């Protein structure tokens, strides 16, 4: 099994009034971590309203420096940056209309950054998305955004992906999806 680094940059919540954290991300990451023997989990230490650890401006924070230190010293083979989005979200161009059901939105969004093409190998994201769809998971691969954590991983030659979980997932469905994600990681290891 490969060494996996799980980062959750928006796990620190202040409350449920505004969506200023990823409410399902910590639970999803902890579930993956509990099932992956060789994984390291890093939760955020501050809320994203103070600093967004995904962005370049956070590159020199202790939290981000710790991630790079772990990648370099722990022989990390795969980085998963874990996020979640509300089912009524307008994120990624998804709009929930009055007559639309939550089930028509993706369960998982894989987000590939669009800048710095030099470090962008989309083959992992493309194959991962195909694998999820083949296993009856409503997945969508989106190219866009500026996730500096996954780009840092790629600059250090680590396969890196950002996973967004739909926050309307039931615990049972989340468990099924995470089991499929783990099977894919194991497949990559062989």
What is the mean pLDDT of each successive set of 10 residues along the chain, which is 190 residues long?
A: 87 75 93 93 92 90 93 87 82 57 73 56 80 92 78 84 91 96 82
Task: Return the CATH number at 77.
Answer: 3.40.630.40
- Asked if residue 162 belongs to a domain, the reply is yes
Whether the model pTM is above 0.85: yes
- Over the range 101-129, which residues count as b (16 or more CB within 10 Å of their CB) and which as e? eeeebbbbbbbbbeeeeebbebebbeebb
- Asked if residue 95 belongs to a domain, the reply is no
Query: Could you give the number of structural domains in the chain?
Result: 1
Q: What value, to the nearest 5°, has the Cα angle with vertex 91 and ends 165 and 159?
A: 50
Q: How far apart are CA 138 and CA 125, in angstroms?
A: 15
pLDDT in the model for residue 145: 66
pLDDT in the model for residue 62: 95
pLDDT in the model for residue 41: 97
pLDDT in the model for residue 64: 94
pLDDT in the model for residue 119: 47
Q: Using the 8-state DSSP alphabet, how is residue 111 labeled?
A: E
With contact defined as beta carbons under 8 Å apart, do 184 and 102 qualify?
A: no
- Asked if residue 178 belongs to a domain, the reply is yes
SS3 189: helix
- Asked if residue 57 belongs to a domain, the reply is yes
């Amino acid at each position: 099994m490969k060494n996996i680094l799980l980062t959750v940059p928006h796990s620190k919540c202040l409350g449920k009034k505004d969506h200023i954290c990823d409410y399902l991300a910590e639970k999803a990451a902890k579930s993956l971590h509990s099932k992956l023997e060789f994984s390291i989990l890093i939760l955020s230490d501050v809320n994203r309203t103070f600093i967004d650890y995904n962005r370049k401006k956070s590159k020199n924070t202790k939290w981000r420096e710790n991630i790079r230190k772990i990648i370099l010293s722990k022989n990390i083979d795969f980085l998963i940056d874990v996020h979640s989005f509300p089912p009524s979200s307008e994120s990624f161009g998804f709009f929930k209309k009055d007559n639309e059901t939550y089930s028509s939105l993706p369960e998982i969004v894989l987000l590939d950054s669009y800048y710095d093409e030099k470090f962008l190998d989309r083959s992992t994201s493309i194959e991962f998305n195909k694998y999820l769809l083949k296993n009856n998971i409503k997945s969508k691969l989106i190219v866009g955004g500026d996730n500096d954590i996954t780009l840092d991983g790629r600059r250090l030659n680590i396969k890196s992906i950002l996973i967004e979980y739909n926050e309307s997932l039931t615990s049972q469905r989340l468990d099924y999806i995470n089991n499929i994600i783990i099977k894919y990681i194991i497949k990559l290891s062989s």
